[in-house]
Structure 1
Amino acid sequence: MFMFQLMLGNKCLISQAGIGISANTILLLFRVYTLLLNHSPKPTDLTTGHLALIHIVMLLNVIILMSPDLFESLNFRNDVKCKTLFFVSRVMRGLSIFTTCLLSVLQAITISPSSSWLATFKHKSKRFIFHILIFIWSLSLSFSSNVIFYTVTSSNMTNSNLLILSKYCSLFPMKSIITSLSFIMTIFRDVSFVGIMVLCSMYMVILLDKHQRQSKHLYSMSISLRPSPEKRATQTILLLVSFFVVLYSVDFIISCSSILLWEYDPIVLGVQSFMVNVYATVSPFVLISSDKRIISALQSMWLEVPLILTRR
């Protein structure tokens, strides 16, 4: 019964990852198209495209780890595969945090009034965004490097202190000082970026509320009910950030308790994997549904399909 539940959980995770990869691929393709052909892309276009790419790699990683046949088909030693897959998983998780934080900062800068000190960054953000992405990649790679040294193949080790991460891969016990240092640095990094997200969200909520109150005095109710593109984009980012913070909090609690107790229950691990991948799966749908450019393009493609079929 337990094995059946575990297999069912793996199938659910693989199905979830498949849906997420499809949605993120659509978002990424439209962002690449926009960046290549549009002479005036929005500052958030590159960031959301980057987020979609990160989530594609993250979800592909999940499918490989959860599919024994796919894992074994990779023509590498199991030890190399474990180190690579969990290193990539840790890097992508960090990049997801960084990019979501960057997205909230960019949107806060975009809607800030001209009198605000943030307005000075409006024109600079487009020029420096590529450099910022390089910086967060370097930061995430350096923070995740310790995983390479402590990830091992379960079948090759008889140590009972191994922390089981999947069917094939485990985490070797680290020295207490290294564990403490890595734990503190990870917490500081994650709390700092989540804190920035929360502050930007609060700032955007205050600006939206202020704008809403001003609109009621200046316009009729019928006009004020029509949200501007900036307002719609801001509401989307607020929804994404709120969703991310809730899911991250659950993941953080499970991860901390597992590391401190040095014990991973397969069911708990499955729940954690599901919670982590929910954001990667849902975020592209939220971003696509709020972007009129993508919706219009998809509607046009959908209308052209019957015409193509009738011609054949």
Structure 2
Amino acid sequence: MGTSTCRGLKENMLNDRIFSRDVTIAVVSLSQTTVGILGNVSLLYHYLFLYHTQCRLRTTDLILKHLTLANCLVILSKGVPHTVAALGLKYFLNGFACELLFYVHRVGRGVSIGTTCLLSVFQTITISPMDSCWKGLKLKAPKLVAFCIFLFWIQYIVITLIIPIYTLHVSSRWSMKNITKIRDWGYCFTTDHAQIIGTVHTVLIVVPEISLSVITTWASGSMVFILYRHNQRVQHIHGNKISPSSSAESTATQRILALVSPFLSFYALSSIFHICIALFPNLDWWVMNISALISLCFPTISPYLFMNHNDMVPRLSFEWIRNSRSFKLF
């Protein structure tokens, strides 16, 4: 009796721990999903309202509209099923629905990273002086933005489709003996056939994400450098009358860093987790759940960052911006 009682107590303690961790994940995931959907839908409604009332969106408004749409896809395809699974409803999706959900998430994530990169590059071109290497693109850039956004959508819709097609092709040719990994996502199971699947995922998904993140870092660094140089020129002209900490350039620099830092931090961590999940089977329960939560972080907070920094680079009195008839950034 003593042994069976002790065993029963251990099982109860284990069940309590599992229940406690599931509740914790469910609360965090539900909070992220709710806050993220509210923020992105509000921002998307704002831009749609502007479009219908003014019949024209600024270039940055167009970029942010597609960014919020992509963020909604990420949150709906990752946050909702993950929350439902954490609340106790396990494996409610079949194989096709599971692949479709992953497909929507990859497309939304790719477009989100791509449009964020496009926003940084466009802002860099916009505030660059006329004697810079960007002078040939200053007037052409607004006309190319719509094409670039369209290209991002088409690129990720097509490229992301290769992974499930390749998986089905391998599944039809190889027997069940060649299945090397079975992944438990909580809301469905997936099977990977051979290590090449992880390699294909890394090359087609992770490498472009890293490349776009590097471009975003470079563009943001260029913006900070341009603003710093202009601030030095203004200080030289006006002497010490303007406080460096209160200047428009300093404010713009802080806002750029406030937006870019979480983007790079969360997506870098998310990419690392995605590589580990793609290449290594049977990962710990915490790794799978933390990966899902981290992938929701930037899509959740980004609309609030954009609302808070609605004038990311304020209307600076750059003489070279006025002369070049640049477009407003926000």
**TM-score by shorter chain over 0.5:** yes
Distance apart, 1:100 and its partner CA:
0.9
Alignment correspondent of 1:94 = 110
Distance change >3 Å, CA 38–CA 233, structure 1 → 2 = farther
Rg larger in 1 or in 2? 2
Does 2:93 match 1:67?
Answer: no
Please say if residues 236 and 287 of structure 1, whose CA atoms lie closer than 8 Å, have aligned partners that are also in contact: no
Structure 2 match to 1:51: 67
Give the aligned residue type for 1:174: H
Match of 1:35 among 39, 47, 51: 51
**Which piece of structure 1 moves more, 114-123 or 179-188?**
179-188
Contact kept? 1:64, 1:70, Cα under 8 Å: no
Provide structure 1 residue ranges, at least 5 long, that are not aligned to the other structure. 294-312
Measured after TM superposition, the shift of residue 255 of structure 1 is 1.9
When structure 1 is superposed on structure 2, of 77-86 and 280-289 the one drifting more is: 77-86
Which structure 2 segments of 5+ residues have no match? Answer: 1-16, 313-330
Read off the aligned partner of 1:106 and give its amino acid letter. F
Determine which of 248, 267, 276 is the counterpart of 2:267: 248
Q: Residue 236 of structure 1: CA displacement? A: 3.4
Note the C-alpha offset of 1:86: 1.0
**After superposition, what is the alpha-carbon deviation per residue over 1:79-111, rounded to whole angstroms, capped at 9, x for unaligned?**
222121111011111111111111111111111
Asked whether the 8 Å contact 2:198–2:278 carries over to 1, the reply is no
Relative to the length of structure 2, the TM-score reads 0.76
Return the match for 1:132 from 134, 141, 148. 148
In structure 2, the CA distance between the partners of 1:7 and 1:70, relative to structure 1 (3 Å rule), is: closer
Q: Secondary structure of 1:121's partner?
A: coil
- The 2-side partners of 1:166 and 1:142 are apart by 24
| Residue 111, structure 1, aligned to residue 107, structure 2 | no
2:304 corresponds to 1:278: no
% identity of equivalent residues? 27
What amino acid is the match of 2:80? I
Aligned to 1:191: 210
1:82 to 84, 87, 98: 98
Most deviating of 277-286 and 78-87: 78-87
Q: 1:263 aligns with which of 282, 307, 317?
A: 282
Counterpart residue type for residue 107 of structure 2:
V
Distance between the aligned counterparts of 1:231 and 1:138, measured in 2? 38
Distance 1:121 1:176, change over 3 A: same
Distance 1:119 1:48 in 2: 24
**Cα distance, 1:65–1:275 mapped onto 2, change above 3 Å:** closer
More displaced stretch, 78-87 vs 234-243 = 234-243
Q: How many matched pairs?
A: 285
Q: Residue 116 of structure 1: SS of its match in structure 2?
A: coil
1:20–1:164 CA distance, 2 compared to 1 (3 A): same
* RMSD of Structure 2 on Structure 1 (CA): 3.1
Q: Greater share of helix residues, 1 or 2?
A: 1
Q: How far did residue 203 of structure 1 move?
A: 0.9
Q: Is residue 175 of structure 1 aligned with residue 191 of structure 2?
A: no
2:42 matched to 1:26? yes
> How far off its partner does 1:226 sit?
5.1
- Aligned AA (2:155): L
Distance change in 2, residues 1:179/1:274 (3 Å): closer
Specify whether residues 268 and 175 from structure 1 end up closer, same or farther in structure 2 by C-alpha distance, changes over 3 A only. closer
